[in-house]
Structure 1
Amino acid sequence: MQFAAILAGGSGVRMGNPNKPKQFFFLGDKPILVHTLEKFCASGCFDAVLVLTPATWVQQTKDIIARHCPQYVDAVSVIAGGAERNDTIMNAIRYFEEQYQVDDGAIIVTHDAVRPFVSLRIIEENIASALAHGACDTVVPATDTIVESLDGEAISAIPNRSALYQGQTPQSFRMQTLKEVLLSLAPEEKAILTDACKAYVLRGKTVALVRGDVENMKITYPQDLRIAEALLEA
């Protein structure tokens, strides 16, 4: 079985509105989350699609879906996420285990709600790569020189750009292995690891690369929303 978990637990602080999570800001005539959700529902790739939001926004999220994409109301479930990203992913795994007959071959595709321009190609290649390799991350080659500074004041190193990539989402996994990896993390590891792919690397597990797209941008700041509006119009 194949499951999609849309991670919509972010806040609106960096968008200038601490009271409204950024995924609920409008992009064109509907919220960012709805644009993202439509891509996954329309793909036809999933047995179930789950949205994970702040607990106080669960009902509002259901209402937003009913208002803006009523055709997918019965295909989408909404539950509360966790305190951190990996907690939210664990909530998704528990939900799918409780609601479906999950076996060792089950795939979970996790995606940021604020990446509304994800393509069908990226979704399909994530599923294929997770089936083939057990885990994958969507990336694009780094185009800028990456500078490392351990103290935030002076350069410590400048890695070879040809070996560097910028991470996007989806990140996709065989669900049972992902669960085992996340449950194996010690408290001190959880404190520094907020990304499931990092947890895999820490455990020495292979994470394959899926080619992303520069348009698969993450909307974080007000200027990102202006760029997204231009992409939408184009």
Structure 2
Amino acid sequence: MSSRASLAVIIVAAGRGERAGAGQPKQFRPVAGVSLLARSIAAMAAACPQADILCVIGEDDRTAYEQAVTELEPGWAGRLLEPVAGGPTRQASVRNGMEALARAPEPPSYVLIHDAARPFVPPDLVARILAQTEATGAAVPGTALVDTVKRVAADGRVLDTPVRAELSAVQTPQGFGFAPLLDAHRLAFAAGREDLTDDAAVAEWAGMVVHVVEGAPENVKITRPEDFEAAERRLAPAPRNRGETRVGLGYDVHAFEPGHAVILGGVAIPHEFALSGHSDADVVLHAITDAVLGAIADGDIGDHFPPSDPQWKGASSDRFLAFAVERVRARGGRLVHVDATVVCEAPRIGPHRDAMRQSIAAICGLPVGRVAVKATTSERLGFTGRREGVAAQAVATVLLPEEADPTEDA
């Protein structure tokens, strides 16, 4: 996006979230001391530094909303527009937000619609949605289904079995051209269609073509009490009284090929070339992944995601790093710090350093203050000096529970 005025983000936070329990709307419930709404605002603010953000809240939730805003960094809170009251359905709430944006002196060209109950959305997913929205006018993130799906009648009879390869579990944020989506919402309202469950359905009903891009497994929706418990476990620090500190080192390199952007640290950086690789060739995330796996002596990225396997062709590298972090958690440990260095003559890393740190922090479940990104050149020496590619080194620090030495009884 070329300017803040061209993009707006609507965060839908007007629901009651009764399935989550606890007697209050789930978007205002804390996870590790910070409300879901504040976490979702922060995630979208970091991923879309050029956008204004509008929250749609319940009519009686102004006090809870203002409390959530106090949990944000001052710079992010300043990006918030005056909140808008929601309606009786999610569809009505989004329409209210769209109409509020339409009354601005300069309405946005594009809009992202995001659920407040998805606080772990990674920045690279948002970047993919924005790119596809600009290219086609409407894009949503989706993940492949792993279970067979049945269409079932009211009495429990199976009616048919849809082809699983044609199905996708759709997430948010969902991206659209602002004016076409506003027209679609107005048409649906005029026709009495208030039963459409997401904005893609509204757009489809109005005749818009919607494209699905690869979603993110960590972009979960917090819905039930057990989801809050899982989120707490994800963010909670491991016990500090016993354990050992491990350090892992990672290195990766990829060559340039024709293109228009490179993906580094989960951030798309405009450039005259792209990076060549079986996945998205993100050397920074690859190096960090190997560093994390090295810290727990669990092989390397090629062992777990071999380039000979076609399922990883073009895959987003945040999946690799999220997998490595989860391997640490499965051992009862936690990742506590990441330090990455990018080696290249171009593109310039400095203007994108903070976005990269935010992206890496979101994937790893770390505060951004525990993620360092540095950049250097090779003084025009070697392949990076000849501008043939990019290299990256990374160090990951991991805390693991204390284990018995397997050699003690030998």
TM-score above 0.5 = yes
Per-residue deviation, 1:186: 5.8
- Structure 1 residues 153-191: Cα deviation after superposition (integer angstroms, max 9, x where no partner): 111111111111101111111010001111112666524
Q: 2:139 corresponds to which letter in structure 1?
A: C
**For the residues of structure 2 that align with 1:99 and 1:188, how far apart are their CA atoms?**
26
Q: 1:17 corresponds to which letter in structure 2?
A: A
- Structure 1 residues 133-156: Cα deviation after superposition (integer angstroms, max 9, x where no partner): 111111100111111113251111
Could you say which residue in structure 1 is the equivalent of 2:208? 205
Describe the shift of the 1:152–1:199 C-alpha distance in structure 2 as closer, same or farther (beyond 3 A).
Answer: farther
The 8 Å contact of residues 86 and 96 in structure 2, kept in 1 or not, is answered as: yes
- Structure 1 residues 193-222: Cα deviation after superposition (integer angstroms, max 9, x where no partner): 232211222233210112111110000000
The 8 Å contact of residues 148 and 158 in structure 1, kept in 2 or not, is answered as: yes
**For the residues of structure 2 that align with 1:73 and 1:64, how far apart are their CA atoms?**
10
Structure 2, unmatched stretches of 5+, are 1-5, 237-333, 335-410
Could you say which residue in structure 1 is the equivalent of 2:152? 149
Structure 1, unmatched stretches of 5+, are none
Describe the shift of the 1:186–1:41 C-alpha distance in structure 2 as closer, same or farther (beyond 3 A).
Answer: closer
**For the residues of structure 2 that align with 1:223 and 1:70, how far apart are their CA atoms?**
32
**For the residues of structure 2 that align with 1:37 and 1:100, how far apart are their CA atoms?**
24
**For the residues of structure 2 that align with 1:192 and 1:67, how far apart are their CA atoms?**
34
Could you say which residue in structure 2 is the equivalent of 1:226? 229
Percent identical among aligned pairs is: 25
The 8 Å contact of residues 4 and 46 in structure 1, kept in 2 or not, is answered as: no
Per-residue deviation, 1:101: 0.6
Per-residue deviation, 1:102: 2.0
**For the residues of structure 2 that align with 1:131 and 1:209, how far apart are their CA atoms?**
13
Could you say which residue in structure 2 is the equivalent of 1:42? 46
2:34 to 26, 30, 34: 30
The 8 Å contact of residues 149 and 155 in structure 1, kept in 2 or not, is answered as: yes
Q: Secondary structure at the match of 1:4?
A: strand
Q: What's the TM-score, normalizing by structure 1?
A: 0.91
**For the residues of structure 1 that align with 2:94 and 2:163, how far apart are their CA atoms?**
32
**For the residues of structure 1 that align with 2:105 and 2:50, how far apart are their CA atoms?**
13
Structure 1 or 2, whichever has the larger Rg, is: 2
Q: What's the TM-score, normalizing by structure 2?
A: 0.53
Q: Secondary structure at the match of 1:156?
A: strand
1:174 to 165, 174, 177: 177
**For the residues of structure 2 that align with 1:112 and 1:84, how far apart are their CA atoms?**
13
**For the residues of structure 2 that align with 1:29 and 1:191, how far apart are their CA atoms?**
35
Could you say which residue in structure 1 is the equivalent of 2:95? 90
**For the residues of structure 2 that align with 1:59 and 1:133, how far apart are their CA atoms?**
39
Could you say which residue in structure 2 is the equivalent of 1:196? 199
Describe the shift of the 1:229–1:63 C-alpha distance in structure 2 as closer, same or farther (beyond 3 A).
Answer: closer
Q: 1:148 corresponds to which letter in structure 2?
A: R
Q: Secondary structure at the match of 2:91?
A: helix
Compute the RMSD of aligned alpha carbons: 1.8
Could you say which residue in structure 2 is the equivalent of 1:9? 14
